[in-house]
Every structure is written in structure tokens, then in C-alpha cells.
Amino acid sequence: MNKNLPKVFVNPINKELRNNKDIFYSEQKSPQNLNSVNIDQKINEIFANPHHVYKSNVHITTSNDSFDTILVGKTNHELLTLDGNRIKIRDLIDITRI
């Protein structure tokens, strides 16, 4: 160890430290965020079902509409239907297999 190193200046701390004691919590809750985990689980269960080979008949409820359709695939953010329509997953309120 080299003892010829220069001394390091350390600024003294003369106040109370309150790191991570002041926390902000927001009370804004979105119903879509609360249901997103359940919707993702339901979608995964539909596609993992042994009866789903290529397509599945489902009843979809969105924030604007409720309808029956045939699902053939999904992307990260959308469900793909046999008609060629794309349904955004974030707009879904409920999805059930018929």
C-alpha cells in the first residue's frame, strides 16, 4: 500500500438525512390497468386450450361494444380475428370462450 497518496477532502454533512422517507403515492386508478392481468391470463388460457388448434370462438366486451368473433392469433398489443380485424388488448374489458 502506498502511503504517499494525497488526502481527500470530505465535505461535512451538518443536516439530517431523510433519503427515501418522503414518498408520493398517486390515487389515480384505471379500471383497464386493474383488469389487464386477468385479461392477459384469459387470452393465454384461450390460446393454450387443447381445443384451440387454429381458431377459437369468443365473446369480447370492449369499452365501446360487445360482440362475438373468431380469434386466430395475437401480437403483443392486438388480437387477430378471422375477418382480418385487429382488436387492441388495452380496450378489452372481458373475453370468454364460447
Residue 88 is assigned to a structural domain of this protein: yes
Question: pLDDT by residue (tens digit) across 9-37?
Answer: 888 888 887 776 656 666 665 544 445 55
Residue 13 is assigned to a structural domain of this protein: no
Q: What is the CATH number of the domain that holds 41?
A: 2.30.30
- Residue 74: strand pairing partners: 79
Q: How many domains does the chain have?
A: 1
Residue 4 is assigned to a structural domain of this protein: no
Residue 92 is assigned to a structural domain of this protein: yes
Tell me which of 37 and 70 has the higher pLDDT: 70
Residue 38 is assigned to a structural domain of this protein: yes
**CA-closest candidate to residue 76, choices 50, 32, 30, 40:** 40
Q: Are 39 and 46 in contact (CB under 8 A)?
A: no
Residue 91 is assigned to a structural domain of this protein: yes
The residue range of the domain holding 61 is 32-97
Percent of the chain with pLDDT over 90: 46
Q: Does residue 43 carry a pLDDT above 60?
A: yes
Q: What's the half-sphere exposure (Cβ side, CA atoms, 13 Å) at 97?
A: 15
